[in-house]
Structures are given as structure tokens and as C-alpha cells.
Amino acid sequence: MKKSKHLLHPGFRMTSKKLPPLSPNPYKTYHGQTDSFRPSILEEPDGFARLLLFNSCYESMPTSSKMVVFDTELVLWKAFNGFIYQNTRHVLLANSSKEGAISGILSVTDFIRVMLRFNRERESREAASGVQEEVKTIQTDSIGKMSIRDYRELVQTEGNFMDLVSINADQSLLEAARLLCHHRIHRLPVLDPDNSSPLFILTHKRILKFMWCFGQQFCPSEWRKKTAKELGVGTWVGIRVVFYDTRLSDCLDILLNKGVSGLPVVDSKTLEVQDIYTRFDAVGIALLQANCIDVTVKEALAYKRNIDLQTERVVSVKETDTFWHIVSVLVESSVHRVCVVNEQNAIEGVISLSDVINFMAVKPGKALKPTKFTQHTQSAAGDLSDQAITARLQQSEKEREEEAAHKRNPTS
């Protein structure tokens, strides 16, 4: 197992050569401050899409990031234990036979697939023998003893294998958003275009925060007046929920096969949202001798509160809240989804990060052509001292202020 930590430039960086300056200080836009954009630019429906188009993935690189890499020869149950110890939802996979090239991602989705497979095999053996088997852990089962490489080959024979989807750091953020949306994935490895080494993982959450920090001026006025339901954002029909007495195996089956990453746990009578069970919450439930997935959701929720995992809390909004308010809640709460409730706190809808980014940027920017940036500064930025980076940011801010002043008064 290898860890790599990239200490890079602070916060987001902004490319302003092909786009008018967002504000004298782009960091001030986080709290809704506006600048001197022309009204015609502000009202363009594809404003957020263009913002992402004219900024490469480099611009969203975090100040620091932890990346966990497992060799594909690692035994599967040890890899899943690593999820707990590293408190992560995914790890990158490196193929030692190909000089450590990144070949895929192992995520909590794989963990759930293994648990369900083990549970089905156990139930089949019990039905055949008529004797209930003693609860086993993943490592005692044959699939747990597989290497990651053998497991991926098994998944491929079953038709569930997915090739690695990645993006080069010099490609646009809009292309990254398109890949996340098209492949229905939640994380996208960003690779160095020179040597294909991984730099960081790009997610819906980080793209939305980028748009929030630097693009609030693009928000159409109707987004501040209409609700998400009026704009057609989110899921409002056929919402998938579970109850406290739902079997965990059934809950995990929905998470794996129905295209959702989190299930609201609601009261069976009032439909009031009580909790939420996500894919990540399943990590660890079957790794101890005393636990398996043949429990209820209530028991599983009690178990997850007793282990040291950063689980997602329930965040709800009112059905009368405007779409832009919901966007602000998603950003400031740093969650993957919000539950929309009525006056009785009964669930009415679910809005995820992917729903929001698809509506704000992917659909409006459908006709925009992909952009690839020929120059990047990652290597240089990585070698700079903190003082040098600060000086560059101050110089960049000064240039933006001068350009903004010139646009306000071209004759001066």
C-alpha cells in the first residue's frame, strides 16, 4: 500500500485569459458578493458551463490531498480492511507488472457486491443442507481470499466490470463534469498529462464548490425565485426509501442495483426522514465475526455510530426553498444529497450533487466544444515556496483589478 500527498498551490486557481474577471478578489464571491459583469453575460443560460469550459482540471486541484494506492495483488479482505483504516470511500489500483500504472479503482460499491455475493452463497448452502451456518467473516470465504486482480477478472466475466474512467489535468472541468454524468460515477482520477501519474480525485462536490466560489454572478434570476421542483431538478417520483425494519441485505441490493448512493430512512407511518444509509456506511459491517448483513437497517445504523467513520448526516430542505438556496446548502453542508420535505417533514424529493451539476452546467453546455489547455503550471507551482505562491496570487489579483477597472471605464 502506498500513500502520496501532493502539497500544491493554496485553494483554487483561476484562469482569466479567456474569460472576463469574476471579481477583484475571486475568493470573496463565496458569500454571494457580485462584481461588474455586464448584464448580457450574467443572463447567459450557459454561463456556468462556460466557466467550467475555460478552466482546466488543474484549477480545481486542492491545496493538499491524500491518495491511497493498493497493488492489484493484495488480498481482497485486506483491501477492505484498508477502507476502515484509511477512512476512505475508494482506493486507486496499481498494476505492479506494468510498472505501477494505475489500472482502476476499488470502491465501496465493490465491497457491497462482495458482501451480497457472500450472503447469497451462504443462503444457498443453508437451503441445500437445511442447517444454518455459523456466521463467517469475509476473509474466511473464498472470495475474500482472492487477490484484487482475480476479483476484477471475476467481475468482468459476470459483465459488471467497468474500465477506468480518467481525465488529464489539462482538460476542461466541463469535460470532467460530462464524464461524471455520462458514466454515472462519483469520482474521477485526474492524471498528469506528461507521465499519467495520478494527481488527485475530482468529484461532483469539488466541481460544485468551484462553480459556487467563482460563478455566482452567472446565476439566472429565476434560480433565485423558483424551487427545484419547478425547475425539474432532482427526483420527485418513485423515491427509493427504506424503513428501520428493512433488512440490510435488501437495502444494499437497492444501493448496488438501482443507481442510488444513499437511501433516506423514513418512518413507515409518517414518512418523516429519520436518518440516511449510504454505501460508505456498509464498510466494516461484515468484517467482524459478530456482524453480517442479515440484520435490520436500525441495527446497522446503531453499528455505524459505534465505529470511527465519517458518516454523512441527514440534511433536509423545505419544498418551498428556492433552487439557489438548495445549492448553497449543498456547498456549505458538504453533503452529497439533500432530502426535500414538506411542512410535516415527510419526504417529497431527493436532490443530489449530480442532479445539480447536470442542470447547471452539463445540459446547458451540451453544444460547447471540448477545450484542451496546452500550458499548465502544476510542476512549477509544486516547486514554489509559500511566499512565492502568495506573491503570484497577489500579482494575479492586481491584474484582475486593473482589467476590471478598464472594463468599467474603457476611456481612462
Would you write out the chain's pLDDT as a tens digit for each of its 412 residues?
444 433 333 344 443 334 333 333 333 333 333 333 343 345 678 999 999 999 999 999 888 878 889 999 999 888 888 877 777 888 999 988 777 788 899 988 888 888 888 777 777 777 777 666 655 555 556 666 889 998 888 888 888 788 899 999 999 999 999 999 999 999 999 999 988 889 999 999 999 999 998 998 889 999 999 999 999 999 999 999 999 999 988 999 999 888 888 999 999 899 999 999 888 887 756 555 445 677 888 888 877 666 545 556 789 999 999 999 999 999 999 899 999 999 988 999 999 999 999 999 999 999 998 766 655 444 333 344 455 545 554 555 555 566 566 656 665 5
Regarding whether 157 and 14 lie in a shared domain, the answer is yes
Q: What secondary structure does DSSP assign to 362-404, as a single string?
A: ITTTTTSPP-B-S---HHHHHHS-HHHHHHHHHHHHHHHHHHH
Q: How far is it, in rounded angstroms, from Cα 45 to Cα 31?
A: 22
The reply to whether 211 falls in a domain is: no
Q: What pLDDT, on a 0 to 100 scale, did the predictor assign at position 42?
A: 53
Euclidean distance between the first and final Cα of the chain, in Å? 60
Regarding whether 286 and 338 lie in a shared domain, the answer is yes
For residue 207, what is its C-alpha cell?
466541481
Regarding whether 278 and 340 lie in a shared domain, the answer is yes
CA angle 91, 164, 82 (to 5 degrees): 15
Regarding whether 307 and 177 lie in a shared domain, the answer is no
Residues 6 or more apart whose CB falls under 8 angstroms from that of 91 comprise: 68, 69, 70, 79, 82, 83, 105, 106, 107
The reply to whether 380 falls in a domain is: yes
Regarding whether 193 and 290 lie in a shared domain, the answer is no
Question: What single-letter DSSP state applies at residue 37?
Answer: -
CA angle 170, 181, 168 (to 5 degrees): 15
Whole-angstrom CA distances from 263 to 42, 105, 306, 337 are 37, 23, 20, 10
Regarding whether 277 and 133 lie in a shared domain, the answer is no
pTM: 0.75
Structural domain total, the chain: 2
Q: What pLDDT, on a 0 to 100 scale, did the predictor assign at position 384?
A: 41
Q: How far is it, in rounded angstroms, from Cα 24 to Cα 374?
A: 26
Q: How far is it, in rounded angstroms, from Cα 7 to Cα 327?
A: 29
What dihedral do alpha carbons 116, 118, 123, 126 form, nearest 10°?
-170
Question: What single-letter DSSP state applies at residue 240?
Answer: -
Regarding whether 328 and 188 lie in a shared domain, the answer is no
Regarding whether 354 and 279 lie in a shared domain, the answer is yes
Q: What pLDDT, on a 0 to 100 scale, did the predictor assign at position 388?
A: 52
The reply to whether 46 falls in a domain is: no
Q: How far is it, in rounded angstroms, from Cα 153 to Cα 147?
A: 10
Q: What pLDDT, on a 0 to 100 scale, did the predictor assign at position 19?
A: 38
Regarding whether 339 and 236 lie in a shared domain, the answer is yes
Q: What pLDDT, on a 0 to 100 scale, did the predictor assign at position 412?
A: 52
The reply to whether 60 falls in a domain is: no
Regarding whether 241 and 183 lie in a shared domain, the answer is no
Contact status, residue 200 vs residue 67, Cβ threshold 8 Å: yes
The reply to whether 215 falls in a domain is: no
The reply to whether 282 falls in a domain is: yes
Domain of 18, in residue numbers? 2-35+65-203+371-408
Question: What single-letter DSSP state applies at residue 311?
Answer: P
Q: What pLDDT, on a 0 to 100 scale, did the predictor assign at position 114?
A: 82
Regarding whether 381 and 303 lie in a shared domain, the answer is no
Contact status, residue 255 vs residue 261, Cβ threshold 8 Å: yes
CATH of the domain at 98: 3.10.580.10
The reply to whether 358 falls in a domain is: yes
The reply to whether 42 falls in a domain is: no
The residue length of the chain stands at: 412
To which residue does cell 460547447 refer?
368
Regarding whether 229 and 195 lie in a shared domain, the answer is no
| E strand or H helix at 266 | strand 262-266
